[in-house]
Amino acid sequence: MDLGLSGRTALVTGATGGIGREVARAFVAEGATVALGYRNDREGAERLARELKDAFAVRYALDDADSAAEAVAAVRERRGGTDVFVANAFSWGRRRAPGTRFEDVAPDEWGPVVGHNLAPVVRATQLVLPQMRERGWGRIAFVSSHNAFDGQRGQEFYGTVKAGLYGLARSLAWDVGQDGVLVNVVAPGLTLTERVRTGLPEEIRERERSRTPTGRLSTPQEVARTLLFLCSAANGNVTGENVTVAGGR
With contact defined as beta carbons under 8 Å apart, do 143 and 183 qualify? Answer: no
Please state, in angstroms and rounded to a whole number, the distance separating the CA atoms of residues 136 and 157: 36
> Which stretches of the chain are DSSP H helices?
18-29, 42-52, 67-79, 107-135, 147-150, 156-176, 194-199, 202-210, 220-230
Contacts (Cβ under 8 Å, ≥6 apart) of 199: none
Q: Is 158 a catalytic residue?
A: yes
Q: Within 13 A of 180's CA, how many CA atoms are on the CB side?
A: 13
- Choosing from 38, 60, 158, 166, the catalytic residue is 158
Please state, in angstroms and rounded to a whole number, the distance separating the CA atoms of residues 132 and 144: 22
Measure CA of the first residue to CA of the last residue in the chain; give whole Å: 29
**Catalytic sites, residue numbers:** 158
